[in-house]
Amino acid sequence: MDPRVEPLVEPVAYAGELPPSQSAVSDRLIELWSQPPNGQAPLVHLGGRDTTGRRAVAATAAARCGLSLCALRAVDIPARAAEQDELARLWIRQALLGGNALLVEIDEADGADTERLALALVERIGSPTVLGGREPPRSSRPLVRLEVATPTANEQEQLWRSALGADLNGGVERVVGQFHLARDEIEAAQIEARARRAEGATADEAVWDASRAQARPRLDDLAQRIESVAGRDDLVVPETERQTLRELVLHVRHRLLVLEKWGFAEKSLRGLGISALFAGPSGTGKTMAAEVLAGELRLDLYRIDLSAVVSKYIGETEKNLRRVFDAAEQGGAILLFDEADALFGKRSEVKDSHDRYANIEVGYLLQRMEAYRGLAILTTTMKSALDPAFLRRIRFVVQFTRPNLASRREIWRRVFPERTPTRGLDVDALARLDVTGGAIRNIALRAAFLAADAGTPVGMDQLADAARSECAKLERPVAEAEIGGWA
């Protein structure tokens, strides 16, 4: 390859047999390359969010035409016109002498100028060349759009069974229903699953955990991944709320069976997402409940960073939200919108352009929440501040309340880890202090540090001092009847 071209392009290897849904796209691309309409090579765009699928389709089409595929990132196209002309001439010669086809890849973050450079280069080069990217660029010329979708659920299941059929025990259906993996991700997950099996994991656990690792969305700049350390026994809520949480778990686990195999998805694609609203005062266990659900379902939990998602620039908030929903949907993750009223607030009467664009953002959220096929959890301390249209679309609403005396007693019993040294704790006396579960945890943690500094086990005297400090922080007066006899 010409040394002036080689640093800019990346060879793309032929990936072998494609799934049927992607093979049909490859056949269409071959037809457009070999028999262009009107004798003129058309501009062809391979769309869809499956980047590896787009490459595999283009590489397969090139191989069946006797060519080798190379990929060029649009951002690497030189900006100067003279250098663009030179690159086009060099590649035309390379394609003729080396038997190469070219895939020009436009990233979602590329701007309009980069799109124009990619279009101009492809127009100069002609066939066999193809544009790749999630969305097609704006072009004055006719653009043939071919959509490359992630392998269907049946195709993903077949890919799993062809490699690990003897080791599977029905767990692959749950994996396919939860995660949307491309073929190369399934192949990588198969390798990891074998390694996990060698370490002693069951077949179903190995396949699930390997798929979860491969599907994990890249959201570090827009969301925070929360490690789920809380278990079901750590959450103290009334039985009614606990039953609702159990039902929520069932909806997630049996989603594929009910929607796809029992046909509910064929009736309507709207309202298939599983959304839940956790409402109640601060410290009543809303975020902990989300952690418990993620741990029980063995899914990643991402808390949306509102400071990174919300932008003052028009259209940027919607773009960030689309990235969040798309990545989470593909990765099967749980989305947690803490303090959701900041994003999902009521729409207001339009008095200026700010009101109009704020209403547009809320409208976009409405659409995405209805179409989102994963689990989204909203927490709020002000349920009345949410737009009523969201409440109509939310499948589960769990109202968290301040714990009563019996619940506070149970929380105090569970708040200290087994390794924490304690001495003479009176759970009945501690439960008299009317505070939330979050405040109880803070008091226990404060007392533990006081005891560590004193070199003694945690006792009632440290808890009394910690309770006074916590209540002072909350600007809440402490009655002697509540902590009398603690110290």
Name the packing angle between helices 353-371 and 316-331 (round to 10°): 10
Report mean pLDDT in 10-residue bins for the chain, 487 residues: 90 85 92 75 83 90 93 91 92 91 86 86 85 82 86 83 64 80 83 88 86 79 80 86 91 81 70 81 90 90 78 73 79 82 60 55 73 83 76 84 92 91 91 91 94 93 91 83 74
Angle at CA of residue 204, ends 200 and 205, nearest 5°:
55
Per-residue pLDDT at 307: 67
Per-residue pLDDT at 382: 81
Domains along the sequence of the chain with CATH: 6-147 (3.40.50.300), 153-215 (no CATH), 223-399 (3.40.50.300), 405-483 (1.10.8.60)
Per-residue pLDDT at 167: 56
Per-residue pLDDT at 18: 87
Residues 207 and 174 sit within 8 Å (Cβ to Cβ):
no
Residues 472, 477, 480, 486, Cα dihedral to 10°: -30
CA atoms within 13 A on the CB side of 117: 24
Q: What tokens were used for 172? A: 């692959």
Per-residue pLDDT at 267: 67
Per-residue pLDDT at 154: 83
The amino acid occupying position 239 is E
Identify the burial level of 40 via C-beta atoms within 10 angstroms of its C-beta, where 0-12 means exposed, 13-18 middle and 19 or more buried: exposed
Q: Of 214, 217, 225, which Cα lies nearest the Cα of 324?
A: 217
Per-residue pLDDT at 268: 64
